[in-house]
Structure 1
Amino acid sequence: MHLAILVTNTDLSDFARSHPLDGEKFTKMVQTVRPDWECSVFLVHQNEFPATLEGFDGLIITGSPASVHDPETWVARLLDVIRTTDLPIYGACYGHQAIALALGGKVEANPHGWSFGLEHCRITDPQPWMSKLGEQYRQFAAHKEQVTALPPKARIIAKADGVPCAGFAIDNRIYTSQNHPEMTADFFKALVDEFRDALGPEVAAKAKSSMKQTDDNLAYSHSIAAFFEQAVN
């Protein structure tokens, strides 16, 4: 299996560079459960796109502090890739929102502000590739926008408190999460510390408190791999 990881993360701060960047994070996530899979990283936020998608089996679109409504040319180009490819796509956070917008859905500001912390997601429409997750899972959330209207044929597969669409699917070709399966607990703790002032004391304290529980990243990574396997078979 050969996946193209389309990196949308525009954060090039000293903090970001002091940790593994998203291309590395997602590659590690995939290869933890499928060591023999190949991942090629493209910095689409810098207008670095694959010359062709021929030879790839699927796409992963990462998270970003950018908005899917930003006017930059790379955003429009990414949305066009989503609309025109026949490859299966997995999207996380920004990727989740970009897929929704590209295919006819709507993305708007969270009415309650930040969703930030280890979020408890309830599976409402389990898909075959999600069998290792059971009825619920925990993932790190960091977003101020969310999907408020689904594209045609999409169905919500997970919800969380204050997040009516924590993930959606379209047939067996699209799989998304509003959250960040690539983030580790150590990275997220550092992220909360770094952005404490921007988040405000209440949001930061709630995020720290949520981390008393453990994430379900490993089981969720298996679901991503199973999604691509069923899509190409």
Structure 2
Amino acid sequence: MRIGILKCGQSPEVIRGEVGDYDDMFVRLLAGRGFDFDSYHVEAMQFPATVHDADGWLITGSRHGAYEDHTFIPPLEGFIRTAHDAGVPLVGICFGHQIIAQALGGRVDKHPGGWAVGPQDYDFGDQVVTLNAWHQDQVTALPPGAEPLGSNAFCENAALVYGDRAFTVQAHPEFGDDVIDGLMEHRAGSVPGPLIDRARARRGQADAGPVVDRIEAFFKAAQQRKDRRGAA
């Protein structure tokens, strides 16, 4: 199954040589699960020709806000709506989570409570999952068809599912401790010191496995439906 990664930003240059760029992180995260990958740097206006150029799409994080005025955001929103309407599965992470919600009629805002940094616990109903986070923005109003799947006291809409069309997560399953350490060192200018201390104290507690399993299952279920339609 071919997954197209829509890269909406880049990891900090000072740590990119050690941890890779955002698309590299997802390739590592999903390695050994039967996927092939193509990457498109949409932040630099490199878009696929059509939503059918891959079997599914994964939209990465970004330092930008979904509500900000950037050249790549309107065509990305159009791409999301086209893929959603065509039934091509979408997975969104952090900014990807937010831009999918916004493109489909939801709302994204900067959280008045500030930042979520480092390991955070999320209630997924059947289990508590600890994921690394790095965000201020949140989905504050759900678009039609979106249902909450994961949450905590700080982030009510931490994971969303849109039927069989999209699965999105606010936190970063692709961020290991090395990425969080790099962000705290190089991109933490407005993050309060106590949050940094708390993140460092919880270093090593994140376990992305349950979310990676959900991403794999979501994509493969979509591919099975496509195969059944083709065989009919």
After TM superposition, the runs of 4+ consecutive aligned structure 1 residues lying more than 4 A away are none
What one-letter code is carried by the residue in structure 1 that aligns with 2:146?
A: A
Superposition deviation, residue 10 in structure 1: 4.5
Distance apart, 1:30 and its partner CA: 1.4
Deviation at 1:188, TM superposition (A): 1.5
Q: Tell me which of 219, 224, 228 is aligned to 2:210.
A: 219
**Aligned pair partner of 1:54 in 33, 48, 52:** 52
Deviation at 1:207, TM superposition (A): 1.4
Instruction: Give the letter aligned to residue 54 of structure 1.
Output: H
Aligned-pair identity (%): 29
**What one-letter code is carried by the residue in structure 1 that aligns with 2:63?**
P
Shift in Å, 1:112 = 0.6
Instruction: Give the aligned partner of residue 179 of structure 1.
Output: 171
Partner of 1:129: none
User: What corresponds to 2:196 in structure 1?
Assistant: 204
Partner of 1:80: 78
CA distance in 2, matches of 1:55, 1:168: 25
Greater mean alpha carbon deviation, residues 17-26 or residues 175-184? 17-26
**What is the match of residue 101 of structure 1?**
102
SS in 2 for 1:73: coil
- Deviation digits for residues 197-230 of structure 1 (CA, Å, limit 9, x no counterpart): 432311211211222x522212321210111011
Residue 214 of structure 2 aligns to a residue whose secondary structure is helix
Unaligned runs of 5+ in 1: 125-133
Secondary structure in 2 matching 1:4: strand
Q: Kindly report which structure 2 residues correspond to 1:12-27, keeping only aligned pairs within 5 A, or say none.
A: 13-27=13-27
Contact 1:91–1:175, Cα closer than 8 Å, also in 2: yes
**Quick one: structure 1 residues 17 and 210, their matched pair in 2 at CA, closer, same or farther if it must change by over 3 Å?**
same
**Structure 1 range deviating more: 139-148 or 181-190:** 181-190
Which secondary structure does the structure 2 equivalent of 1:60 belong to? strand
Can you list the C-alpha shifts for 1:172-216, whole angstroms capped at 9, x where unaligned? 1110100101111222223223334432311211211222x5222
- The worse-fitting range, judged by mean Cα deviation, of 5-14 and 141-150 is 5-14
Distance (whole Å) between structure 1 residues aligned to residue 111 and residue 73 of structure 2? 21
Does residue 162 in structure 1 map to residue 154 in structure 2?
A: yes
Extract unaligned runs of 5+ from structure 2.
Answer: 225-232
CA distance in structure 1 between the aligned counterparts of 2:149 and 2:53, rounded to whole angstroms: 29
Preserved contact between residue 42 and residue 50 of structure 1 (Cα < 8 Å): yes
Match of 1:31 in 2: 31
Partner of 1:232: 223
Calculate the TM-score normalised by the size of structure 2.
0.89
CA distance in 2, matches of 1:67, 1:186: 24
CA distance in 2, matches of 1:224, 1:84: 21
Partner of 2:228: none
Aligned residues between the structures:
221
